[in-house]
Amino acid sequence: MPLYAYSCKKCDHQFEALVFDGDEVECPECHGKKLEKQWGIPAKPRTDSAALPMRCNSDGPPCGPACSRFQ
């Protein structure tokens, strides 16, 4: 979904806008068009499972240098 965060240079209002190709974005507070696109941090994907183990505890062959059997 093309959701972008902006900061208005005229009134310093920060907002998000759903923007499609050809859309002109304006500040919802002052209707200014001098905007600065803000950087966003992607959300961590949700999972129902626990985090993956960082080291194996299997009886099989070693999994690599971080294998718990090499300590």
In the predicted structure, residue 62 carries a pLDDT above the cut 70: no
Closest Cα to residue 57, out of 43, 69, 41, 44? 69
**pLDDT tens-digit map of 18-55:** 999 889 999 999 999 999 999 877 767 766 665 555 55
Architecture in CATH for domain 1-40? Single Sheet (2.20)
Give the per-residue pLDDT at 6.
Answer: 95
Give the per-residue pLDDT at 37.
Answer: 93
Residue 68 and residue 65: Cα distance in Å, rounded?
Answer: 9
Give the per-residue pLDDT at 70.
Answer: 54
DSSP characters over 15-42: EEEE--TTPPP--TTT----EEEEP--P
Give the per-residue pLDDT at 35.
Answer: 96
- CA angle at 68 for the pair 66 and 71, rounded to the nearest 5°: 90
For the chain, give every domain's residue range: 1-40
Q: Is the pTM of this model over 0.75?
A: no
Structure tokens, 27: 């500040």
